[in-house]
Structure 1
Amino acid sequence: MSLKITFLGHSGFLFEGGGARVVVDPFLTGNPAAKHKPSDLKCQYVAITHGHADHVGDAADIAKANDATLIANYEICDHLARKGVKKTDPGNIGGAIQTSFGSIAFTPAFHSSSYEGTYMGMPGGLVLKFPEATVYHLGDTSLFSDLKLMGELYKPDIAIIPVGDRFTMNPTHGATAAQWIRPKVAIPCHYATFPMLTSDISAFQPQGVETRVIKPGECWEYA
C-alpha cells in the first residue's frame, strides 16, 4: 500500500490513503504557486493547522462543495460553521480525533493565529495517521525543543516542515527540526510562494533523513 501526496503549493497538501482523501491548509485562491482550483479538489476531510488566511484559504468552499468534514481547533471550526460549513469536528492541542482512515492529532506550534480580525485559537500542527503512513504537518512554527518529543510520541514516517524564514523556520532550522523528529522522509513547505519568503532551500539537508522536494501540483507516493 502507498500513501499518495499531492503538493498544492505553500503549505497545502492532498493526502490519499486509507480509502479517504484529506486536504490540509488549502490556500489556492490568491496563491501564485497553486496549480489547482478549489473546484478541482474532491475530498472527505479538510483539516487546518491554524487560522491565518494562507492556511484557511479555500477550506470553507472546499468543505461545502464536497460535504466534507472540517477538522481544526474549536475557534476555526466555529468561525467556518458560521460561513456555512455543515460538518465540523473540533479538537485541540494534545487531543486526537478518530476518522474513517485513522486519526488526526493536534500538536503545538510557536506562531500566531487570527483570521478576518478574529482570534482563531492557538496555532498548531497535525499528525495524520493513515494505514499506509503517519504524517506530521508542522503548520507554521519556529524551531522549538518539544519537536523532539513530538517525534518520540508520534514516530511519523513523513514530516512536512516550513522553511521559508521570516514567519517560520529557515532551511537550516528546518533541517535541525527534521533531525530531532527523525521521520523517514522530510518534505519542505511554506517557501518561495511570495518574494518575502526565501526561495533558496539548499540548506535544508537534514542528516540521516531523506529529503523529498515536491513541486506545486506534483504528486509523490510513499510506499
Structure 2
Amino acid sequence: MREELIRPLSSGASLKKQIDASKSNPQEDSFDIWWLGQSGFLIQWNGYCLLLDPYLSDSLTVKYANTDKPHVRLSERVIDPSLLNNIDIVTSSHNHTDHLDADTLNPLMKVNPQIRFIIPEANREFVCDRIRCDRGYPIGLNDKESVVVHPFTFFGIPSAHNEIERDPEGRCKFMGFVVRFGSFNVYHSGDTLLYEGLDSLLKPFKIDLALLPINGNVPSRRVAGNMNAEEAVWLAKEIGAALVIPHHYNMFAFNTADPELFATAAKREGQPHKVLQLGENITFKKAL
C-alpha cells in the first residue's frame, strides 16, 4: 500500500493568492520567500518575483517508471506552473531535470511572456534544445561574472556536482548564484558538494540567506551528490550567513534526507536556520 504523500502547508490557488498579495504590497526593507519543493524557491522583493530552479511536474517520475531507478514521489506538487503568471525571472543552475524541467518551464514561460531566464552560459545549447527556445533567449552567466536583470544582480559561483565541470571554453556547467537586491545577498547553491575554497568565494558577499542542499553524496543512489546536513551547517556558519534554509529533500524516496539532522546540527553550532514546510513562506528582514 502506497504511503500518503507529504502535503504542502500552502498550495495551488491558495499559494498563488499569497504570492499575488505579496507582490501587490512591495517593500524595500524585507522580502518574502517560499519553498516550492526540491531546490525550488520563489522570492518576492519590491514588486518583483524571482523563481529559483523550479521543478513543478512529474516528468522524472514518468521518465523513470518501470526502470531500476524509479523516482517515487514523497510529496504532492506544490503548484501548477501555469498558475504562476507573475514571475519576472527564472533560473536553472544546471542541466539535471529537477533544475531544468521543460514540463515546468514551458508552461511558466507561456503565462509569463516577458520572463527572463538565467542559465550557465556553458549550457546554452542543451537548455535551448530542451525547452525549444531561440538560442539568443537565455541570459548566460559564468563564474567571476555578474549580470543585472531588473533590480537583481546575479553573480556566478562554481558548483561541484560532483566536480567543478567546465566546457572547452572553461565555462562552468554547474553553478550557484549569489543574488543581490536592495541591501540583501542571497546564495542559492544549485547542487554542489562542499569543496575547498567555496567558503572563500562566498565570504565577501556577506550572505544574508543561504539556500543549501542536505541530501548528501551516496554513490549507491547512482546520481550526483550534494552536501549533507553537517556540511551545509558548516558552510553557513563559516560564511556568516544570517540564516540558512535547507533544500533538496522530501521529493524522491531514493534521494532524500532527514531535515531534523540539519536542524540538530544547526542548533548545536548556533547557526540561525529555518526548516520550511512545502509551500511555506517566511518574510526576511535584516536584524537591527
TM-score normalised by length of structure 2: 0.70
Alignment of 1:100-111 (within 5 A): 100-111=150-161
Equivalent position of 2:123 in the other structure = 76
Equivalent position of 1:55 in the other structure = 99
Q: Percent identity?
A: 26
Structure with the higher fraction of residues in helix conformation: 2
Structure number with bigger Rg: 2
Q: Deviations over 1:119-163 (max 9, x none)?
A: x95201011111152110011111112221133221110000000
Report the AA paired with residue 145 of structure 2.
G
Q: Which runs of 5+ in 1 are unaligned?
A: 114-119
C-alpha separation between the residues in 1 aligned to 2:199 and 2:172?
A: 24
SS of residue paired to 2:278: coil
Does structure 1 residue 8 correspond to structure 2 residue 36?
A: yes
Report the AA paired with residue 50 of structure 1.
H
SS of residue paired to 2:237: helix
TM-score normalised by length of structure 1: 0.88
The verdict on how the C-alpha distance between 1:152 and 1:47 changes in structure 2, with shifts beyond 3 A counting, is: same
Does structure 1 residue 21 correspond to structure 2 residue 49?
A: yes
C-alpha separation between the residues in 1 aligned to 2:203 and 2:231?
A: 19
C-alpha separation between the residues in 2 aligned to 1:106 and 1:177?
A: 17
Report the AA paired with residue 104 of structure 1.
F
Does structure 1 residue 174 correspond to structure 2 residue 237?
A: no
Aligned length: 217
SS of residue paired to 2:98: helix
Q: Which runs of 5+ in 2 are unaligned?
A: 1-28, 61-72, 164-170, 219-224
The verdict on how the C-alpha distance between 1:121 and 1:148 changes in structure 2, with shifts beyond 3 A counting, is: closer
Equivalent position of 1:117 in the other structure = none
C-alpha separation between the residues in 1 aligned to 2:119 and 2:283?
A: 25
C-alpha separation between the residues in 1 aligned to 2:181 and 2:272?
A: 20
The verdict on how the C-alpha distance between 1:158 and 1:139 changes in structure 2, with shifts beyond 3 A counting, is: same
C-alpha separation between the residues in 2 aligned to 1:172 and 1:104?
A: 27
Structure with the higher fraction of residues in strand conformation: 1
Equivalent position of 2:147 in the other structure = 97
Contact 1:161 1:187 (C-alpha < 8 Å) held by counterparts: yes
The verdict on how the C-alpha distance between 1:121 and 1:64 changes in structure 2, with shifts beyond 3 A counting, is: farther
Higher mean displacement: 184-193 or 63-72 = 63-72
Does structure 1 residue 126 correspond to structure 2 residue 177?
A: yes
The verdict on how the C-alpha distance between 1:59 and 1:77 changes in structure 2, with shifts beyond 3 A counting, is: farther
Runs of 4+ with >6 A deviation: none
